[in-house]
Amino acid sequence: MLAIVAPGQGSQTPGFLSPWLELPGFRDRTEWLGAVAGMDLVEHGTNSDAATIKDTAVAQPLLVASGLVSLLALFDHPADGFATVGVGAGHSVGEITAASAAGVLSAEQAMVFVRERGRGMAEASAASETGMAAVLGGDPDEVASALEAHGLTAANMNGPGQVVAAGTADEVQALRDAPPAKARVVPLPVAGAFHTEHMASAVTRLGGYARAISVHDPRTPLVSNADGCVVASGREVLSRLVNQVRSPVRWDLCMKTLADLGVTGLIEIPPAGTLTGLAKRGLPGVETLALKSPDDLDEAHRMIREHGSPVEPTDAPTWRLVVSPVKGTFTADIGAESDVRPGQVVATVNTLRESHDVKAPHGGHVIEWLAEPGDPVGPGQPLLRLHPHEDSA
> For residues 385 and 393, what is the distance between their CA atoms, to the nearest angstrom?
13
Q: Which of 65, 57, 53 is nearest to 111 (CA)?
A: 65
Single out the catalytic residue among 11, 66, 92, 233. Answer: 92
Single out the catalytic residue among 44, 91, 195, 362. Answer: 195
Answer yes or no: 92 catalytic.
yes
> For residues 157 and 170, what is the distance between their CA atoms, to the nearest angstrom?
21
**If DSSP codes are grouped into helix, strand and coil, which group holds residue 385?**
strand
Q: Which residues are CB-neighbours of 76 under 8 A, at least 6 positions away?
A: none
Read off the amino acid at residue 319: W
Strand residue runs (E) in the chain: 2-6, 87-90, 130-137, 153-159, 162-168, 183-187, 222-223, 230-231, 265-268, 287-290, 320-323, 328-332, 339-340, 345-350, 355-359, 364-369, 376-377, 382-388
> For residues 39 and 373, what is the distance between their CA atoms, to the nearest angstrom?
53
Q: Which of 169, 196, 166, 165 is nearest to 183 (CA)?
A: 165
Read off the amino acid at residue 201: S
Sign of the alpha-carbon torsion through 39, 41, 46, 48:
positive
Read off the amino acid at residue 65: A
| Cis? peptide before 271, omega within 30° of 0 | yes
> For residues 189 and 270, what is the distance between their CA atoms, to the nearest angstrom?
18
Q: Which of 332, 157, 317, 181 is nearest to 247 (CA)?
A: 157
CA atoms within 13 A on the CB side of 173: 5
CB 84 within 8 A of CB 74: no
Which residues are marked as active site?
92, 195
